[in-house]
Amino acid sequence: MAELNVPVNAATTAGGEPIPTVIVDDAHLVYRIYGAGSGVAGSPASALRRIVTREPQKPTLREVHAVKGVSFTAYRGEAIGLIGSNGSGKSTLLRAIAGLMPVNRGAIYTQGQPSLLGVNAALLGDLSGERNVVLGCLAMGMSREQARKATSEILAFSGINERDDFASLPMRTYSSGMQARLRFSISAAKKHDVLLIDEALATGDSRFRRRSEQRIRELRADAGTVFLVSHSISSIRDTCERSIWLESGVIRADGPTDEVTKTYENYMASR
Ligand SMILES: Nc1ncnc2c1ncn2[C@@H]1O[C@H](COP(=O)(O)OP(=O)(O)OP(=O)(O)O)[C@@H](O)[C@H]1O
């Protein structure tokens, strides 16, 4: 635990300045849901009335303002935990940092290419775990030779072959925990400028979680920036020295993990 709190000196410029990797400046993120029926207007009675009166259904648009004016700067060498209750905007913010969702207002600047590792990251269910590892490596920019070399290491790290030769079976036959382990193992095989991890550790067992947490620390030590979204406060405490608490799309606290998680836990206990 102690080594997590030491400043990462590799992450500073020659002048000792920390190097920013992600700048989020007053970011607003809004989902637009078209055709979403709302309350009475979407009821069976109103649908029947429209049929009888031949009144066309008015197009509806609902907006969910998921992230409301969030600002912070992340630096190279930091591992940052994103915490908050369900629906507070954590995954949305990660998606925006990854460039998968445009900001509606404000701006997000990133250095290098952020990589989002989520439980929904696309791997192909009909291909074997091993083929998916090779494809994943190629997709991350490795050469065929590098991918071939990395494959056995990734499979060993994932531990999916611990009980049987699962690597040769199609991925659709894997449990969700095994799938998540393989996804994490593929992503963690490469150094990332900015690695965004969304609950990927939650589905692994405790042994795999410990290995993953160790790998996150190594990735961070390699001077990348890691963001970890998790409801497991212990994972956040073991991995991240800084945490950001989001609630209803707004930052409630940003600072040392111990302080932020304590405040968050008190808040959750009082609800
Ligand atoms: N694809 C979507 N379309 C419309 N609204 C969405 C969509 N995805 C998320 N939302 C809404 O945006 C808000 C933030 O959701 P988000 O998934 O970012 O929260 P979260 O903090 O990651 O939640 P959790 O801890 O439950 O995973 C919620 O109100 C959610 O209903």
- ipTM for this prediction: 0.98
Res 10 pLDDT > 50: no
Give residue 205's pLDDT band: very low, low, confident or very high (50, 70, 90). Answer: confident
pLDDT at 271: 83
Helix (H) or strand (E) holding 158: helix 144-158
Q: Is 86 in the pocket of ligand 1 (CB under 6 A)?
A: yes
For ligand 1, atom 4: residue with the closest CA = 31
CA nearest to 88, candidates 234, 252, 215, 241: 252
- Average pLDDT over the chain, rounded to whole? 84
Give residue 210's pLDDT band: very low, low, confident or very high (50, 70, 90). Answer: confident
Q: Is 88 in the pocket of ligand 1 (CB under 6 A)?
A: yes
CATH tag, 75-270 = 3.40.50.300
Domains of the chain by residue range = 30-64, 75-270
CA nearest to 158, candidates 187, 119, 191, 131: 187
Res 35 pLDDT > 90: no
pLDDT at 9: 36
Res 8 pLDDT > 50: no
The answer for residues whose C-beta is within 8 angstroms of residue 249's C-beta and 6 or more apart is 29, 65, 66, 67, 68, 70, 88, 89
Write down the pTM of the prediction. Answer: 0.79
How do residues 115-138 score in pLDDT, each as one tens digit? 887 544 567 889 999 999 998 888
Q: Is 109 in the pocket of ligand 1 (CB under 6 A)?
A: no
